[in-house]
Amino acid sequence: MRSENELIKLLNRDLNLLSFKKLRKQNISIRFENEELVSGLNYLKSQNYIHLATISCVDWIEDNQFELIYQLFSYEDKISLSVKTRINRKTSKFVTIKNLWGVAKYYERDIHDFFGIKFTGNDNMDELILENWNEIPPMRKDFKTRQYVDKKYDWRQYHGQE
Amino acid sequence: MNNKYESNKWQEVINWVQTRSLFMLHYCTGCGAIELPPTMTSRYDMSRFGIGPAATPRQADILLITGYLSTKTLRRVIYTYEQMQNPKFVMGFGSCTINGGMYWDSYNTIKQLDKYIPVDLYIAGCMPRPEAILEGFLKLKEKIETGSADGYKRYNKEYEKYKKNQEKVLGEVKRRQ
Amino acid sequence: MDKSKMTEMFFGPNHPGVPGNYGINYFYEGDTVVSAEPNPGHLHRGFEKLMEEREWIKNTPLVCRICVMEPDINEMVYAMGFEAIGKIDIPKRATYIRSIILELARIQAHIFSIGGNCGAIGLYTAMQWGVLTRDYILDLFEEITGGRVYHIYIRPGGVRHDIEDVTLQKILDLLNDLENNRMPEFQKLIFENPIAQKRWKNTAILNQEDALSLGVTGPALRATGLVHDVRKLMPYAAYEQVDFKVPSGQDGDAWTRLKLKKDEIFQSINIIRQLINNIPDGPVSLNLGNALKYKIPNGEAYVKIESSRGEYGYYIVSDGGLKPYRVHVRGTSTPLGLYGVESLLPGCRIEDVPIWAHSLGICPPEFDR
């Protein structure tokens, strides 16, 4: 069982990290370049980080980038590891990891539905949760909910209100 | 309904018999459905009033819309409502059917149920207690007995208006019986 | 795969055998399922976008509506994420009260789930008993917090108000009644019933390598032999001060999972008794200033707790402003409800599909959000 400092030393020695940070007890975050991410995840899976909890996405509209975060966990070290990378907002393309964890197919399909990112190698990108949606993907920061709701639905009129 | 039996005595007898045996469709559409099991089982017993659950819409009288409706569910509710036989009644449950409720500024839920299918009775609350649900059912029985629960007649008369509202939100709605 | 010889079935949203508003479309041949695919999205309300438009304190009544069977876990994880980014330490009495509320919520969720499983095979008496016993615990919640189903009691900085000694004594009386009078009757009717045993043994099997590669946690993973529980791996609230065991099984079928739920009810009763006997005095919440102007510094956190079905986590990002920048919800049954249907259901018989869906604990509003 390793402590947080031993794990950081091991990763610095074996992988090509851009940056790392110890957030609090039992929680560390590391960052990769786009091309190094899949081989980094492969190495971590062989070092007992076998539990993929989820894949999240954040829209940094001022930097013009999307950020993808893979949440991993190890039952032996008891450390929760967030693996991050940033991609360009205009092209919005990345590779799939469905050969390492099969369940990642559905997490990537969900991110495509809400943010519009395409994953090459994943051939089923149909709509999962929305139906017949023909505006920009709703979780992006330039989608204004209040204007959309005022245009599409009507509010109830009460007596005494015009 | 058959016009021969529109005279008062026959209609009163039919209404009296109908209020004592109502079947409710068992379709949990939203988060208000968590207070239905206590109402149906032995603590706040609902079957002492003659109300019981039915599994298919072809044999049900009441459609209970428990809570909010997303646009995906609204399409299925319209198909279900058109499959039920006349006379049929709709009850709106909770504050999300009245004016949008807690999710008033969401892009995926509807704000007023009254524009898409005709409603006979609303029950207030978020979510209503089992005692409030039972009082709602007793009020519905009074309305049926006096003949003023006529949502299904309104749907037939004003069909074009309802159809226009439904297609504004959903796009194209295929009708199949 | 020749689809012209198979029949398509919509085990769809309007069905009494499915746990919630959720659909599965599958092809079957003879009696066995050949291929299946999920149909989610009927309960989507757009929570993650709504949470970005409201201030930090205004999200507290909204968050508890994500999972309807157990609303307290959502309030707890949101408060934990806020306190982790802001580096806030809450008073000790508040951690004990939070643990008591979470364990009571676990007991009522397990009782409801055992009743639902019995309803799926036709044992309707046990379903009525389950709903009735859970109602007595909801009466207790109404005395403590003011509401039967949605409590809005745990918030950033502690809990809303204090519990009196009279109420703590009522909790102990109810737990005595549950352990001595009601659980033996459940034992005789359900767990010593030869017809129910024959129906549940060797049905809906989940083995260990499938469970680990999918990311399954909770009783479904502990029924295959491993003993992993977030309360022991990453302790939170007052769980380091109490002494309890984590039960586990070997076979991985529906019978083992239901027996584990019954054992966990007894362990929870034990935990609540230890907490009430050792509860300290003091304040129950911190004063963080004007509630409409809460602010925490730049940062991020991934926090998780153990709900009655497994690991439940939130990923919160803050940019130093008055509203959250991003909140991502990871429900417990996301891997099973979406990818598990495609990879684990083929090979099952048609009459066992409701047992598969109910005993693995699939709750649709968690992954629809």
Q: Is C135:C108 a contact under the CB 8 Å cutoff?
A: no
Examine residue B87 and say whether the peptide bond preceding it is cis (omega within 30 degrees of 0). yes
Q: Is B119:B152 a contact under the CB 8 Å cutoff?
A: no
Nearest residue on chain B to A135, alpha-carbon basis: B107
Q: How far apart are CA C262 and CA C273, in angstroms?
A: 18
Query: Tens of pLDDT along C252-307?
Result: 899 999 999 999 999 999 999 999 999 999 999 898 888 888 889 999 999 999 99
**Contacts C14 to B, Cβ<8 Å:** 27, 57, 76, 80
Tokens of C336: 């099973």
Instruction: List chain A domain ranges.
Output: 4-152
Contact B98 A156 (CB under 8 A): yes
What ipTM does the predicted assembly reach?
Answer: 0.92
pLDDT at A85: 92
Question: How many residues would you count in chain B?
Answer: 177
Q: What is the mean pLDDT of residues C197-216?
A: 91
- Hey, is the C-beta of C42 within 8 angstroms of any chain A C-beta? no
pLDDT at A95 over 80: yes
What is the CATH topology of the domain spanning C89-295? Cytochrome-c3 Hydrogenase; chain B (1.10.645)
pLDDT at A57 over 90: yes
Return the CATH class of domain A4-152. Answer: alpha beta
B66 found inside a domain: yes
Please tell me which chains touch C, using 3 or more CB pairs under 8 Å as the contact test: A, B
Vertex C21 angle, CA A129 and B85, to 5°: 115
What is the tally of structural domains in chain B? Answer: 1
pLDDT at C1: 64
pLDDT at B138: 93
Q: How far apart are CA A88 and CA A106, in angstroms?
A: 22
- Hey, is the C-beta of C10 within 8 angstroms of any chain B C-beta? no
Question: How many residues would you count in chain A?
Answer: 162
With bands split at pLDDT 50, 70 and 90, how would you rate the model's confidence at A162? Answer: low
B32 found inside a domain: yes
B160 found inside a domain: yes
Q: What is the mean pLDDT of residues A97-117?
A: 91
Instruction: List chain C domain ranges.
Output: 89-295
Query: Tens of pLDDT along C129-141?
Result: 999 999 999 999 9
pLDDT at B28: 85
Picking from A150-159, B50-59, B117-126, which range would have the lowest pLDDT averaged per residue?
Answer: A150-159
Q: If 0-12 CB within 10 Å is exposed, 13-18 middle and 19+ buried, where does residue A38 land?
A: middle
Examine residue C80 and say whether the peptide bond preceding it is cis (omega within 30 degrees of 0). no
Mutate to test the interface with C, among B35, B39, B40, B41 (most CBs of C within 10 A): B41
- Hey, is the C-beta of C302 within 8 angstroms of any chain A C-beta? yes
Tokens of A110: 């969900």
pLDDT at C315: 94
Query: Tens of pLDDT along B144-155?
Result: 888 888 888 899
Q: What is the mean pLDDT of residues A52-73?
A: 92
Vertex C324 angle, CA C322 and C330, to 5°: 160
Contact C315 A54 (CB under 8 A): yes
CATH code for the domain of B50: 3.40.50.12280
pLDDT at B118 over 70: yes
Closest chain A C-alpha to B125 CA, distance in angstroms: 18
pLDDT at C2 over 80: no
- Hey, is the C-beta of B73 within 8 angstroms of any chain C C-beta? yes
Q: Is A91:A103 a contact under the CB 8 Å cutoff?
A: no
pLDDT at A123: 84
pLDDT at C16: 82
pLDDT at C268: 94
Contact A131 B72 (CB under 8 A): yes
Q: How far apart are CA C7 and CA A70, in angstroms?
A: 39
Find all residues with CB under 8 Å of A51, minimum gap 6, and list them.
A72, A73, A74, A75, C212, C215
Q: How far apart are CA C55 and CA C57, in angstroms?
A: 6
Closest chain C C-alpha to A5 CA, distance in angstroms: 18
Flag whether the pTM goes above 0.95.
no
Picking from B75-89, C3-17, C178-192, C252-266, which range would have the lowest pLDDT averaged per residue?
Answer: C3-17
pLDDT at B176 over 70: no
- Hey, is the C-beta of A156 within 8 angstroms of any chain B C-beta? yes
Q: What is the mean pLDDT of residues B30-39?
A: 89
Q: Distance between terminal CA atoms of chain C? A: 35
Tokens of C49: 């976008």
Q: What is the mean pLDDT of residues A85-99?
A: 90
Half-sphere exposure of B92 (CA within 13 A, CB side): 23
Contact C132 B127 (CB under 8 A): no
pLDDT at A72: 92
Q: What is the mean pLDDT of residues C180-191?
A: 92
Q: What is the mean pLDDT of residues C45-71?
A: 91
Using DSSP, state whether A65 is helix, strand or coil: strand
B6 found inside a domain: no
B3 found inside a domain: no
Contact B108 C53 (CB under 8 A): no
C-alpha separations of A103 from B82, C150, C156, C180, C337 in Å? 39, 32, 33, 44, 11
Q: How far apart are CA C289 and CA C356, in angstroms?
A: 49
Which residue is associated with the tokens 């130093």?
A: C320
**Ramachandran class of B131: left when φ > 0, alpha when ψ lies in -120 to 50, beta otherwise:** alpha
B17 found inside a domain: yes
Q: How far apart are CA C211 and CA A135, in angstroms?
A: 38
Domain that holds residue B151: 12-170
Q: How far apart are CA C78 and CA B56, in angstroms?
A: 40
Q: How far apart are CA C325 and CA A67, in angstroms?
A: 13
* Interfacial C residues in 13-32 facing B (CB < 8 Å): 13-14, 16, 20-21
pLDDT at B126: 87
Nearest residue on chain C to B39, alpha-carbon basis: C131
pLDDT at B4: 53
pLDDT at C19: 87
Q: What is the mean pLDDT of residues C44-63?
A: 92
What secondary structure does DSSP assign to C309-357, as a single string? SSEEEEEEEE-SSSS-SEEEEE-TTHHHHHHHHHHHSTT-BGGGHHHHH
**Contacts C246 to A, Cβ<8 Å:** none
pLDDT at B2 over 80: no
Half-sphere exposure of B29 (CA within 13 A, CB side): 25
